[in-house]
Chains A and B, each alone.
Chain A
């Protein structure tokens, strides 16, 4: 017991050293490194960049993988919007915006300095197709094999050329935790089935996986990562050999550690011969759970959550009537087959991206709808731009290696 008391002596001595330091420096007290790290990891990524200019020590403290990971965990995702505005695309300008939901009016939108990112995709008409830990993945509209990856905060960027096939595409962009590497998954049809390639951002070379799988994901649909597994809806037209994909194999998954593919059924509903209904089914992540949704012909949005992974047990969670929205915000050119996707669902709040109409926030419980790109906010106009890509991105300090 007596000895235990000695354990406090070094601690106290440390404090006393500070005490002396305080007296010497006036009222400014030096903070221990772990507190500085803790404080800086709570700042938005661009503010961390500003703080790196303070001194060498702070630059070092905020450049470690530990700090970058800690920061990433604390940062909240933000909404990135790319407008595929034709005249600008022709002028080779990138219309990329960040939408700050909580900010005051007039400060909700910031535009990315186009030059910083266009530099490496000059003349390529890049289209944003995915994001992972703060990195953005673009595909070139001109040369379909050319991809670009950048961190929009640090502006670090790389080019990537896909394997030599004309018809394949990158279907997954993920962080491989065991090796701490960013990886890409590429799919292409070969006569035996779909073959997959993996590339690590560091070495940029493609490795062919041994497995040949009978299905491929919906083209350029963003994969959903839950607990180290990537999920996609299977392309229902799949099969250059004319095979129609059964409902029991309509969702496919890839375990990033074991590199195994599997498929599973979507939630129970009558598809009958109307397999094209699979085109209206999509996946999203909600608070760490795999979530499935589809919009039916009557504009009802149904949302299911995968509760048990062992037996693919889906539970119906919400049913949202999108007709409220159409009544409240009438619009011309109403389509029978609207392109609607969920940007996020959290705390019973749903953000919908309705292509050609805009972003809508639904408070589920209260049956309340709100269009969030109101006039006067200087938001790029969804209605005239027709096509916007909306994606959740965590602004991070991730390094492309």
Chain B
């Protein structure tokens, strides 16, 4: 029983190609099976158009984030994973602080991994939904460009119409 998967592994080993992803931020390298990496449309396009060398440099994404991305891709490349397992695994990957999530959403966007983009965006939305706008502004590093008059007007218009009961 135990030897069966090993045999299979050996049999398919010569065909299995690997790719090396290298974070350009801290020069960390990750060796991943090609079919895992190909979930990224960006990488797939590079491989398809023969732009990819042995090592694919990934700009702007740190090793820490790249590791999360690869973990996601590995989970989703596993054909025997059930939907429930994947949901749990995804929840584990996005159980991070908001700044890591913002890095992760940028990485998912750059590498064009739809599923990861979706779970990360949802998690960010869940974490900011109860925050006042000042906190949201700080998290996203956005500057307030309203004049005081405009701000008062937007406030008056957008204070919502429900209150706790009673």
Residues of A whose CB lies within 8 Å of any CB of B are 1, 4-5, 7-8, 11-12, 15-16, 18-19, 22, 25, 27-32, 35-36, 38-40, 42-44, 46-47, 49-59, 97-98, 107, 109-113, 116-117, 152-155, 378
Contacts and interface: CB of A to CB of B under 8 A. Distances in A.
Central interface residue in B110, B150, B151, by most chain A CB within 10 Å: B110
Contacts of A18: 60, 106
Nearest to A32: B109
A351 to B, nearest CB: 20
Contact of A31 (B106, B136, B150): B106
A115 B99 CA distance: 40
B121 A42 contact: yes
Contact of B102 (A31, A46, A97, A98): A31
B115 interface: no
Central interface residue in B103, B128, B142, B161, by most chain A CB within 10 Å: B161
A176 B49 CA distance: 45
B84 interface: no
15 contacts: A8-B51, A19-B59, A28-B140, A29-B141, A31-B102, A40-B125, A42-B125, A42-B126, A52-B158, A54-B142, A55-B144, A110-B162, A110-B164, A154-B158, A155-B161
Given A54-B142, A109-B165, A44 B105 contact: no
A112 B165 CA distance: 9
Contacts of B161: 112-113, 116-117, 152-155
Contacts of A7: 49
A39 B124 contact: yes
Given A1-B49, A50-B160, A154-B157, 15 more contacts: A5-B50, A28-B140, A30-B141, A31-B140, A38-B117, A47-B128, A49-B158, A49-B160, A50-B136, A51-B133, A55-B142, A56-B146, A111-B166, A113-B161, A152-B162
Interface string B103-115: 1011001100000
A234 to B, nearest CB: 37
A4 B48 CA distance: 10
Central interface residue in A54, A58, A154, by most chain B CB within 10 Å: A54
A-B pairs with the 7 shortest C-beta distances?
A: A28-B141, A42-B125, A46-B160, A111-B165, A4-B49, A49-B158, A53-B133
A153 B151 CA distance: 19
A30 B142 CA distance: 8
Interface in B86-113: 99, 102-103, 105-106, 109-110
B46 interface: yes
A374 to B, nearest CB: 15
A14 to B, nearest CB: 9
A35 B158 contact: no
Given A29-B141, A39-B121, A153-B160, A53 B60 contact: no
B70 to A, nearest CB: 19
Contacts of A1: 49-50
A302 to B, nearest CB: 33
Given A5-B49, A8-B51, A43 B129 contact: yes
Contacts of B49: 1, 4-5, 7
B136 A51 contact: yes
Contact of B140 (A8, A46, A54, A155): A54
B138 to A, nearest CB: 8
B126 to A, nearest CB: 8
Given A30-B141, A56-B145, A22 B162 contact: no
B121 to A, nearest CB: 5
Contact of A35 (B109, B150, B160): B109
A39 B118 CA distance: 9
Contact of B128 (A31, A43, A49, A378): A43
Contacts of A39: 105, 121, 124-125, 128
B155 interface: yes
B143 to A, nearest CB: 7
B64 to A, nearest CB: 13
B102 A29 contact: yes
Contacts of B124: 39
A51 B128 CA distance: 9
Nearest to A16: B59
B122 interface: yes
A22 B158 contact: no
B9 interface: no
B83 interface: no
Contacts of A22: 60
B163 interface: yes
A38 B117 CA distance: 9
